[in-house]
């Protein structure tokens, strides 16, 4: 927090005390609010003006306040998105370098896990939600919610389209060591290759463990996985082939 922000926060707090001391009416925050930049005011509304239940406990043993505190990547990527501009190359390189530094690799090297467990993770949107209904990680393992944004198994029709289709991911790319590492890196911190992507940093945040990432990788890359089976033949397709 900058000194300027601290001073503004103090001003707002003082106005509040004055207002509550002299009348029962709510405070008049005009002077304090209009003196702040939009970013400063947003932070003030979140952290000082009771906008959120910040003292709630989180599943990872922290507080909701920490959830709202941005790291460098979040801060930079938010500002870029709000500006509506394309990411410039220098900033993209910085975000990518931050991602590179964040990635920890498994001790025994990058290997595929179990695609069946990976499928459960891909389908499950459970985990890390707080507030009025807190996800209980003791009763249910958090998932990765891949289907919210990606197509995977060609037989699943309820897939999102915010991210690219990953149907046939392994069939199209093979499962070389380089591809295994590449896929691990994307799941751990996709900003390495796609700076300011909307995709979460599953490994960096620890919302998926290294073992879970290996399972999701198997779902993507194992030739036995439904993701890598030929799409089902529909009646229309068969008719078209016959014509």
Partner 1 sequence: MPRRSALAAGMAATLTLPVLAGDLRAPEDVLQTLIDDNESAYLTQSEQNIMMMPDNAALWTAEEGKELFFEARGPNNESLETCDLGKGPGVVDGAYVELPRFFEDTGRVMDLESRLVYCMTSIQGFAPDDPEVKQRHGSDSDMMKLQTFIASRSSGLPWNPPMDHPLEQAMRDAGEVLFYRRAGTSDFSCSTCHTNTGNRIRASVLPSINQPHEWTKAISWPAFRVGHQQVRSSNHRIRGCYWQMRQPQSIPGSEAAIALMSFWTDAARGAPAILPDKKR
Binding site for partner 1 (CB under 8 A): 25-30, 33-34, 36, 38-39, 41-42, 45-46, 49-54, 56, 60, 64-65, 67-70, 73-74, 77-79, 81-82, 128-133, 147-149, 157-162, 198, 200-201, 205-207
State the minimum distance, in angstroms, from the CB of residue 187 to partner 1: 13
Please identify, using beta-carbon distances, which residue of 34 and 234 lies nearer to partner 1. Answer: 34
Closest to partner 1 by CB, 27 vs 154, is 27
13 burial (CB, 10 Å; 0-12 / 13-18 / 19+) is: middle
- Helix-helix angle 38-47:3-22, to 10 degrees: 60
Considering the complex, what minimum distance in angstroms separates the CB of residue 128 from partner 1? 4
Q: For residues 24 and 20, what is the distance between their CA atoms, to the nearest angstrom?
A: 6
Residues 105-115 as b or e (16 or more Cβ within 10 Å = b): eeeeebebbeb
Closest separation in Å from C-beta 216 to partner 1: 15
- Choose between 147 and 169: whose C-beta lies nearer to partner 1: 147
**Distances, alpha carbon 239 to alpha carbons 162, 167, 230, 235, 236, in Å:** 31, 23, 17, 6, 5
Q: Give the nearer residue to partner 1 in terms of CB position, either 77 or 180.
A: 77
Contacts with 195 (C-beta within 8 Å, 6 or more apart), sequence order: 77, 87, 91, 92, 93, 95, 96, 99
Nearer to partner 1, 84 or 108 (CB): 84
**Residue 167 beta carbon to partner 1: minimum distance, rounded to whole angstroms:** 15
List, in sequence order, the alpha helices (H) in 103-152.
115-123
- Closest approach of partner 1 to the CB of residue 9, in Å: 13
């Amino acid at each position: 927090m900058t000194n300027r922000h601290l001073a503004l926060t103090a001003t707002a707090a003082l106005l509040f005390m004055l207002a509550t001391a002299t009348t029962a009416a709510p405070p008049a925050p005009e002077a304090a609010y209009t003196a702040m930049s939009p970013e400063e005011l947003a932070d003030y509304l979140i952290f000082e003006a009771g906008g959120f239940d910040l003292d709630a406990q989180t599943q990872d043993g922290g507080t909701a306040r920490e959830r709202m505190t941005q790291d460098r990547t979040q801060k930079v990527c938010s500002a870029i998105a709000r500006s509506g501009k394309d990411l410039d190359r220098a900033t993209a390189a910085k975000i990518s370098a931050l991602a590179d530094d964040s990635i920890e690799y498994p001790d025994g090297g990058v290997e595929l896990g179990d695609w069946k467990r990976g499928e459960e993770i891909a389908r499950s949107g459970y985990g890390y939600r707080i507030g009025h209904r807190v996800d209980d990680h003791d009763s249910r393992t958090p998932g990765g919610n891949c289907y919210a944004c990606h197509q995977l198994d060609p037989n699943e029709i309820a897939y999102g389209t915010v991210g690219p289709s990953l149907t046939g991911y392994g069939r199209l790319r093979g499962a070389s060591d380089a591809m295994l590492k590449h896929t691990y890196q994307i799941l751990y911190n996709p900003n390495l290759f796609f700076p300011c992507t909307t995709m979460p940093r599953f490994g960096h945040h620890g919302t998926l463990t290294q073992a879970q990432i290996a399972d999701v990788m198997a779902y993507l890359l194992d030739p036995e996985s439904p993701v890598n089976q030929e799409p089902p033949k529909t009646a229309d397709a068969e008719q078209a082939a016959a014509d």
